[in-house]
Amino acid sequence: MNIKVLGSGCPSCIKLEKYVKLAVEQLELEATIEKVTDMQDILGYGVMSTPALVIDGKVVSTGKVLSPKDIIKLIG
């Protein structure tokens, strides 16, 4: 599984990355978690509002910090 957190490095983006790591640990999954900060790469996903979450190439959330519980629902 490949998970990407898209964002410029703002506090919300950092929090979402932390929550993604917690969710992956709770599920005991093997996943690659990437932080994408390049605006051209972010725009390439069609994302206009960060933070955004991309799971296996699909944008599943934009513009909000999901809780670990919500992330688990999206991954699971």
The one catalytic residue among 5, 13, 16, 53: 13
Residue 53 in 3-state DSSP? strand
How many CA within 13 A on the CB side of residue 70?
9
The one catalytic residue among 1, 2, 8, 10: 10
Which conformational region is residue 46 in: left (phi greater than 0), alpha (psi within -120 to 50 degrees), or beta? left
Per the annotation, the verdict on 33 as an active-site residue is: no
Per the annotation, the verdict on 34 as an active-site residue is: no
Catalytically active residues are: 10, 13
